[in-house]
């Protein structure tokens, strides 16, 4: 009893690795807090793409549990919906067409398998050699292009009601810049809540679908899964191939985001998870979670920066708390009425949130090359970045919107992002004077974090820790 009281007294002050010592109700509240942190960003992706909200919550929970199983239950990470693949979904299904989203989901499922290939490469050749092919001079411009290619859809959604959109934008900015504690960690959720409530008060929301929705229902419908694509008898092989070539290259950016997130969690907790359980295990868990979710019609998964913010805030680093949050997400997925409340959200609210989000995605790409000190005095780095940006954005806004090739009578479309990514990776591989070094022995920043910023960057935090350590030694 004395031990428990002592631990509770230090809650929020010292690291806690076994949350059960805090007592049952505190353990429960901490799990709910992690659910709260990931919720806004996770449900925003299906709202933007047209994917089902119920299956999104189900596979965010199941994906997190699968990740924990594969990573030996050691890493306190939550897997929510990935923003990076938004460009892929919108390229294949620009108007949220359910039948076209299935093709996009197939492409994302294969993108998830790319994580397994990288995990194998890490095991076979070591992270230092493999990461030379994915330096910030490649991933940074790719991320910049992702945000800019999405910007048009954000403005179109805002234009339906700029007053609601601006409300969402202002709330996100205020919470992100001036917020403290939990408020700073959940700016998306607060932006959605405030603008949603305003829309409801002004009568802009039709709640009839909410009244008609059932309280309980199975979150997955067969006709919204990739499996139905192959049993419907209406499969379009050309579109299937095009979706693969469009979406798979996006995984190069998301895999770097994963490594950055694991590095951030390692720095926050003080344990090098890149060594144990190892990046090969965490990449495998994230990739399989993405493939599983996509096959059943849910968005791709990614490790969430918001939940890393909660870890830093509470100093409770017990992975059991994250798994409890995952169980809560699974339970919520079985309530269609809850999903209906989210689905009736006005498009202007979604537009306001996405306007900030897409801009921040591009800004993160800029931060990527700045914080990792990419040397643009070298011509090879300028050429790599230039080719990625011009091809990714130029092709996307061209008349055709893609590069069209006929291969054995099948018409295949390469999106701008796919073309730019592949050209950038190949150029970086063949051009001399590579200067990027990656070390597993110490958590370091890849510069990639596609979630809403949690404040000071990991590089800054690591620099401060190093400075404090040096001063202490003196």
Angstrom distance (rounded) from CA 445 to CA 362: 17
E strands of 275-391, at which residues?
301-303
Task: Please choose, from the candidates 130, 142, 57, 20, the residue with its C-alpha nearest in 3D space to the C-alpha of residue 392.
Answer: 142
Mean pLDDT for 102-127 is 94
Task: Please choose, from the candidates 176, 196, 167, 178, the residue with its C-alpha nearest in 3D space to the C-alpha of residue 43.
Answer: 196
Question: What is the sign, positive or negative, of the torsion defined by CA atoms of 319, 322, 327, 328?
Answer: positive
Instruction: Give the model's pLDDT for residue 111.
Output: 96
Q: How far is CA 209 from CA 7, 12, 40, 213, 345, in A?
A: 47, 42, 21, 6, 11
Instruction: Give the model's pLDDT for residue 465.
Output: 57
pLDDT digits (tens, 9 = 90+) for 350-406: 888 888 888 888 888 888 888 888 999 999 999 999 999 999 999 988 887 888 877
Q: Is the pTM of this model over 0.85?
A: no
Angstrom distance (rounded) from CA 380 to CA 29: 51
Question: What is the sign, positive or negative, of the torsion defined by CA atoms of 291, 295, 296, 299?
Answer: positive
Instruction: Give the model's pLDDT for residue 334.
Output: 96
Task: Give the tokens for residue 75.
Answer: 């890493």
Quote the percentage of the chain above a pLDDT of 70. Answer: 88
> What average pLDDT is seen over the chain?
84
Query: At residue 42, does pLDDT exceed 60?
Result: yes
Q: Which single residue is written with the structure tokens 């299956």?
A: 55
């Amino acid at each position: 009893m004395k031990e428990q009281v002592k631990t509770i007294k230090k809650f929020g002050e010292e690291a806690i690795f076994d949350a059960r010592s805090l007592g049952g109700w505190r353990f429960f509240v901490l799990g709910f807090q992690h659910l709260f942190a990931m919720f806004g960003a996770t449900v925003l992706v299906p709202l933007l793409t047209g994917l089902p909200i119920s299956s999104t919550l189900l596979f965010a929970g199941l994906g997190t549990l699968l990740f924990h199983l594969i990573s030996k239950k050691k890493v306190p990470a939550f897997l929510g919906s990935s923003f990076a693949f938004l460009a892929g979904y919108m390229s294949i299904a620009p108007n949220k067409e359910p039948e076209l989203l299935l093709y996009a989901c197939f492409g994302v499922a294969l993108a998830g398998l790319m994580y397994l290939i990288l995990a194998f490469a890490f095991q076979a050749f070591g992270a230092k050699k493999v990461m030379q092919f994915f330096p910030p001079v490649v991933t940074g411009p790719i991320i910049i292009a992702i945000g800019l290619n999405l910007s048009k859809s954000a403005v179109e959604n805002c234009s339906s009601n700029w007053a609601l959109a601006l409300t969402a934008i202002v709330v996100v900015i205020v919470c992100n810049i001036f917020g403290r504690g939990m408020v700073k960690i959940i700016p998306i959720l607060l932006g959605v809540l405030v603008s949603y409530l305003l829309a409801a008060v002004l009568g802009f929301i039709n709640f009839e679908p909410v009244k008609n929705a059932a309280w309980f229902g199975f979150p997955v419908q067969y006709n919204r899964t990739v499996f139905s694509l192959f049993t419907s008898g209406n499969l379009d092989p050309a579109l299937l191939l095009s979706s693969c070539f469009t979406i798979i290259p996006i995984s190069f950016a998301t895999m770097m985001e994963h490594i950055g997130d694991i590095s951030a969690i390692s720095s926050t907790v003080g344990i090098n998870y890149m060594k144990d359980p190892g990046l090969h295990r965490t990449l495998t868990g994230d990739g399989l979670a993405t493939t599983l979710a996509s096959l059943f019609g849910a968005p791709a998964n990614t490790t969430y920066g918001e939940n890393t913010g909660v870890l830093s805030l509470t100093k409770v680093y017990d992975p059991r708390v994250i798994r409890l949050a995952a169980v809560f997400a699974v339970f919520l997925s079985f309530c269609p009425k809850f999903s209906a409340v989210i689905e009736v959200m006005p498009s202007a609210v979604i537009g306001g949130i996405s306007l900030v989000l897409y801009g921040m995605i591009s800004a993160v790409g800029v931060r990527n090359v700045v914080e990792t000190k990419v040397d643009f005095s070298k011509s090879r780095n300028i050429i790599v970045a230039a080719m990625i940006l011009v091809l990714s954005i130029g092709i996307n806004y061209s008349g055709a919107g893609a590069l069209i090739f006929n291969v054995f009578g099948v018409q295949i479309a390469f999106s701008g992002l796919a073309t730019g990514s592949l050209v950038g990776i190949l150029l970086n591989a063949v051009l001399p004077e590579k200067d990027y070094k990656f070390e597993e022995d110490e958590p370091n920043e890849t510069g990639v974090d596609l979630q809403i910023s949690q404040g000071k960057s990991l590089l800054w935090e690591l620099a401060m820790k190093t400075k404090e350590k040096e001063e202490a030694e003196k």
